[in-house]
Structure 1
C-alpha cells in the first residue's frame, strides 16, 4: 500500500465493504479524515496510540521491543480484509478508555520490571495464567469447584516465586488487579487485527483463561 496514495471515500467503501455513510462517519470522527486516507495517515493514528501507551515509561529497550510487537505493518499490496482490519484497528486506537486500559497494563508491567539492566524481565502474569489455567479451562473445570483450588494455588505460587514475595492476600489482590486489567475483550481484538494486518498466525484467544482466573480469584478472596 503506497504511503502517498490517497483513497477516495468511494474507493475505501469498495475495498472495505463498508457503506459510504459509514466511511463518512469515520471521517467525521477523525479516523479517516480526507488528508489521512493514506497508509501514512492511518499509521499516524496508531503511532499516536502507541505513544500514549509507552511514553515516559521506564525500561528503555524492553518497552521498545514490546511496542514493536504491537505495531501493525500493512503490506505494500494489502488484501481488502487487511484494509478493513487496518481501519478497525485505527478506530480502536482512538478509544480513550481502551488507551487508558492498555496504558495501565504498561505501567503495571514497568513497575514489575526488576531493578538493574542486566536482569532479564520477569515472566508475564498473563503468560503464566495461559500455561497453568489453560488446561483447566480446556478440561471444563469450573472456577468455583474444589478442583480449581490447586490451579489457583499453582498460579499464586508461580507469581510469588517470580516476584520474590509471599503468597498472601496482598499478592492475590495484585494478581486480580492485573488480570482484570488484561481481560478487556478489546485487547484480544487488537491482537487479532494486528495478526491479520501483519500476516501472522491467528493468536490464541486469552479471554476464557483470563475470565476463569479472575472469577476464581474473586471467589476465593470473598471466602
Structure 2
C-alpha cells in the first residue's frame, strides 16, 4: 500500500468494515482526525488514520469509552495501563452481576414480595465490612454490659459472614435470613438472657471455659440413648441422666444435687432456642462451611429428662403424672 495514499470516508469504511456514520463520528470526536481535504472539501485520511481507526475499533469492542480510547491514541496512556484499569472495572461489574443473579434467583424461588425483594437486594449489596458491622452490632447489643463467657463471645466475634464474590442462591438467602435474625428484637432478648446467665455463672466462680470435651461427652451419651429408643421420661433414662449430671458436677466443681439440676435445666432451656442453632447453620451456609448438625434432639431429650427428674416419683415407678 502506498504510504502517501489518502482515503475518503467511504474507502475507510470499505477497508475497516465500519459504517460511514461511525467513522464520521470518530472524526468529529477527534479520535481519527482527517489528514486533509479534497478539492471538493471532502475529508481525506492517510495510512496512520487507518491504523488509529483500527485500534479505536478494537478498544471500543473491548468496552473502553471514547475518553480512554482518545488517551491511548494520543499516547497519554499505554494500552497495557488502560487494559489493566478496564479489567479491574470489569471485575467489579462481574461481581455485581453475579450478586444480582443470585438475588434474582432467590426472589424467584421464594416468591418474594416487592418489599422482600427490596430488602434482599439491599442486604445483599452490603460490603464485607458492612456485613461485619451488622453482626458486631448484634453481639454488642446482646453481650454488651455483661461479664459473659469471654471465650464464647470471642468465638462469636471471630465467626463473621463472608459472602463470596460469586454466591449461590442458597448463600444469598442464608445471608438475608441471618441479617434479619440479627435484627430480630425477640431473638436479641433471648440471647441477652443467655449472656445474663453466663455473667451470673462467672460471678459464681465459673472460669468461662467452653468445656468442649464435656459437651462432646453429653452429645455422645444422649445420642446413644436416642439410638437405643430410651425415652427421657422412662426409668431407663435415669442412669443416663445421673451420669450426665455427674459430669457437669465434676466440670463445674458443684454438688450433684437438685440445685445443679435446676441450674442446668435453666441453661439448657435458654440454649435450646432454635433460633440460636439456626444462627450457626446460616453462618455455615454463607461461609461455605460444613453443615452444622442439629442438636435439637439432644437438647429436647436432656431437658425432658431433667424436668422428669424434678417431678415427684412413686416408690418404684416413673414420675407421678409422667408419661
Question: Which structure would you say has the larger RCO, counting Cα contacts within 8 Å and 6 or more residues apart?
Answer: 1
**Same fold, TM exceeding 0.5?**
yes
List aligned pairs for 1:24-103, cutoff 5 A: 24-25=115-116, 27=118, 34=122, 37-40=125-128, 41-58=130-147, 62-103=151-192
Q: Offset at 1:22?
A: 2.8
Q: Aligned match of 1:14 in 82, 101, 104?
A: 104
Q: Aligned match of 1:121 in 209, 213, 221?
A: 209
Contact in 1 for aligned 2:142/2:191 (Cα 8 Å): yes
Identify which range, 11-20 or 187-196, moves more after superposition.
11-20
State the partner residue of 1:172. 261
Q: Offset at 1:184?
A: 1.3
TM-score normalised by length of structure 2: 0.57
Q: Offset at 1:47?
A: 2.5
1:199 aligns with 2:294: no
Partner of 2:167: helix, strand, or coil? coil
Q: Deviations over 1:111-131 (max 9, x none)?
A: 4348899x6725167555323
Contact in 1 for aligned 2:194/2:270 (Cα 8 Å): yes
Q: Offset at 1:99?
A: 1.3
Q: Give the number of equivalent residue pairs.
A: 216
* Cα 1:43/1:23, change in 2 over 3 Å: farther
The two structures, once aligned, show a CA RMSD in angstroms of 3.3
TM-score normalised by length of structure 1: 0.80
Q: Deviations over 1:82-139 (max 9, x none)?
A: 111100111111221111212222332344348899x672516755532332221222
Q: Offset at 1:188?
A: 2.0
Contact in 1 for aligned 2:249/2:260 (Cα 8 Å): yes
Q: Offset at 1:216?
A: 0.7
Instruction: List gaps (5 residues or longer) in structure 2.
Output: 1-90, 313-323
Instruction: List gaps (5 residues or longer) in structure 1.
Output: none
Q: Offset at 1:70?
A: 4.0
Q: Offset at 1:210?
A: 0.2
Q: Offset at 1:53?
A: 2.2
Moved over 4 A (4+): 10-13, 18-21, 31-36, 113-117, 124-128
Q: Distance in 1 between matches of 2:150 and 2:208?
A: 12
